[in-house]
């Protein structure tokens, strides 16, 4: 593939358009609220029975998210090693796309009573999404030169936000006007939305699959290759370790990602449980998040161009700290809306700049981009595992999500302190 080709870059960005609807609708906006409401109705309260274990519905959902990302952490090294060895990143990207979108179709059958089934489908969908993203990200250094990575990364996230907002609005219209569209109730309309997510994801992803090209090496994949991924991961770590700034950036990224990803994933449950937001109001909140995230992604790419990646990330972390502290004290819906606006603006920025910053740390011309991004995504997903698990444990012990979200500030502070010791070069034109 030719670097900086507008056709290839647009095709790559289109995958963000296709898979971000899962991240918004299933992970963030609709499924968590639907899951909470349906399980509460099925079990006459917050406490549900999961394989004979009595536990709060929000706690088991938090643990399920942690478990799904733990699975991907285990799979990443194996799969990335095979992908680099065989030169077939796109094939793995396709496999996880079909797994995730298929699980979204499966959520159509979840009604609250079959909670074990619903959690299983949610885990499969999460694995599909997380698995596809590592190979998708690995194409970034292949399609864009260093000087354009920030803008290309921002464009991808922005297209994802736009696409997901469009489908969320369609979903909102269907759910709020379910009778008009022939549904017996809002729950039936919501389940249909999960089908739409699966169709959108699998359908639009074909654009990227058509234009992105694998580079088959001709190497035969044998059982011995299954362990090569861990060797590749070790090689990447040893290379990054030789560069002090690179390894410190990853340490910093690990800690602040624990806060970023956990707050993003569990904000809807926090809004419903602690603030009293209704399902419809939470959808409006998420729309605010997505619209502002588009501007945020481009804004922080601009800041990075002028002041450098480090300045942009530090600025974003400081805003995240403010959001977490504000959430702890927030008592009414107006305050929650204001916090959501800040969160949305910084959400796209920190994700986009983090991805492009790491891309610049990968050696030019490497053939192991999947392994390098596997290391990045293992760091990211392990952060989610520990972050969401911490959130759930603190809630279970203290009985309040407020204490959980306040503790997220510790992760941001540690990440900020480590980042203060990192030297990152400014962009090369």
Q: Would you state the pLDDT for residue 60?
A: 86
Please tell me the predicted confidence (pLDDT) of residue 62. 79
Question: Exposure string (b/e) for 216-244, b if CB count within 10 Å is 16 or more?
Answer: eeeeeeeeebeebbeebbebbeebbeeee
Q: Is the pLDDT of residue 429 over 50?
A: no
User: Which of the two residues, 241 and 90, has the higher pLDDT score?
Assistant: 90
CA angle 252, 335, 316 (to 5 degrees): 20
Neighbours of 279 (CB within 10 A): 18
The more confidently predicted of residues 368 and 354 is 354
The half-sphere exposure of 415 on its side-chain side, counting CA atoms within 13 A, is 28
List CB contacts of 237: < 8 A, sequence separation 6 or more. Answer: 247, 375
What band does 428 get if pLDDT is binned at 50, 70 and 90? very low
pLDDT at 335 over 70: yes
Confidence of residue 27 (pLDDT cuts 50, 70, 90): confident
The top-scoring range by mean pLDDT among 45-49, 387-391, 414-418 is: 414-418
| From 119-128, 129-138, 329-338, the region with the lowest mean pLDDT | 129-138
* Average pLDDT of the chain to the nearest whole number: 85
- Residue 12 and residue 152: Cα distance in Å, rounded? 9
Identify the CA nearest to 121 among candidates 95, 101, 92. Answer: 101
Residue 383 token pair: 């952060």
Most confident of 153-157, 219-223, 279-283: 153-157
| Residues 60, 99 contacting (CB under 8 angstroms) | no
Q: Is a pLDDT exceeding 70 seen at residue 138?
A: yes
pLDDT in tens, 203-224: 999 999 999 987 776 666 666 6
Whether residue 186 is predicted with pLDDT greater than 60 in this model: the reply is: yes
pLDDT confidence tier of residue 13, bands split at 50, 70 and 90: very high
**pLDDT-based confidence at residue 285 (cuts at 50, 70, 90):** confident
CB 65 within 8 A of CB 383: no
Is residue 427 very low, low, confident or very high in pLDDT (cuts 50, 70, 90)? very low
Alpha-carbon span 130 to 123, nearest angstrom: 11
> What per-residue confidence (pLDDT) applies to 230?
65
Which tops the pLDDT comparison, 288 or 259? 259
Complete DSSP assignment for 117-164: HHHHHHHHHHHHHHHHHHHHHHTHHHHS-GGGHHHHHHHHHHHHHHHH
CA distance 395 to 349: 28
Residue 47 in 3-state DSSP?
strand
- What average pLDDT does the segment 39-43 reach? 90
Across residues 355-363, what is the average pLDDT? 79
Residue 210's Cβ-count burial label (10 Å; 0-12, 13-18, 19+) is exposed
Query: Would you say 39 and 57 are in contact if contact means Cβ atoms under 8 Å apart?
Result: yes
What is 6-419's CATH number, 1.10.540.10, 1.10.3720.10, 1.20.1250.20, 1.20.1630.10?
A: 1.20.1250.20
pLDDT for 228 beyond 80:
no
pLDDT at 369 over 70: no
Give 358 or 97, the one with higher predicted confidence: 97
The predicted structure's pLDDT at residue 130:
83
Residue 33 has pLDDT above 50, yes or no: yes
Note the residue count of the chain: 429
Give alpha helix (H) positions in 147-213.
Answer: 149-176, 186-211
Q: Is 49 helix (H, G, I), strand (E, B) or coil?
A: strand
């Amino acid at each position: 593939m030719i670097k900086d080709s507008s056709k290839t870059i647009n095709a790559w960005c289109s995958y963000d358009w296709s898979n971000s609807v899962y991240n918004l609708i299933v992970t963030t906006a609709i499924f968590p609220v639907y899951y909470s409401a349906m399980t509460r109705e099925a079990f006459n309260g917050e406490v549900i029975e999961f394989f004979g274990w009595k536990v709060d519905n929000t706690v088991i959902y938090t643990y399920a998210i942690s478990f799904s990302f733990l699975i991907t952490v285990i799979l990443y090294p194996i799969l990335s090693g095979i992908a680099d060895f065989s030169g077939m990143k796109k094939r793995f990207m396709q496999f996880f796309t079909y797994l995730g979108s298929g699980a979204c179709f499966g959520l159509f059958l979840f009604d609250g009573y079959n909670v074990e089934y619903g959690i299983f489908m949610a885990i499969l969908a999460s694995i599909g999404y997380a698995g596809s993203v590592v190979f998708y990200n690995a194409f970034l250094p292949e399609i864009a030169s260093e000087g354009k990575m920030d803008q290309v990364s921002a464009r991808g996230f922005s297209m994802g936000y736009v696409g997901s907002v469009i489908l969320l609005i369609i979903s909102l219209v269907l759910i709020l006007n379910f009778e008009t569209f022939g549904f017996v109730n809002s729950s039936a309309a919501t389940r249909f939305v999960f089908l739409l997510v699966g169709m959108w994801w699998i359908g639009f992803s074909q654009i990227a699959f058509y234009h992105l090209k694998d580079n088959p090496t001709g190497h035969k994949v044998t059982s011995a290759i299954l362990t090569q991924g861990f060797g590749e991961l070790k090689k990447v770590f040893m290379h990054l370790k030789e560069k002090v700034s690179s390894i410190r950036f990853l340490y910093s990224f690990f800690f602040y990602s624990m806060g970023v990803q956990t707050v993003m994933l569990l904000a809807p449950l926090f809004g419903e449980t602690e603030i009293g937001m209704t399902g419809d109001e939470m959808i409006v909140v998420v729309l605010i998040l997505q619209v502002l995230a588009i501007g945020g992604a481009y804004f922080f790419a601009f800041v990075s161009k002028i002041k450098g990646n480090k300045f942009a990330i530090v600025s974003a972390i400081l805003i995240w700290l403010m959001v977490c502290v504000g959430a702890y004290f927030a008592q009414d819906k107006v305050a929650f809306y204001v916090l959501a606006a800040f969160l949305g603006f910084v959400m796209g920025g920190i994700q986009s700049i983090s991805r492009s910053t790491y891309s610049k740390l990968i050696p030019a011309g490497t053939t192991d981009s999947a392994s390098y991004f596997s290391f990045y995504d293992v760091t990211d997903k392990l952060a989610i595992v520990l972050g969401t698990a911490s959130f759930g444990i603190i809630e279970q012990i203290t009985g309040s999500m407020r204490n959980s979200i306040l503790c997220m500030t510790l992760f941001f502070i540690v990440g900020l302190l480590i980042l203060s010791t990192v030297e990152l070069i400014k962009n090369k034109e």
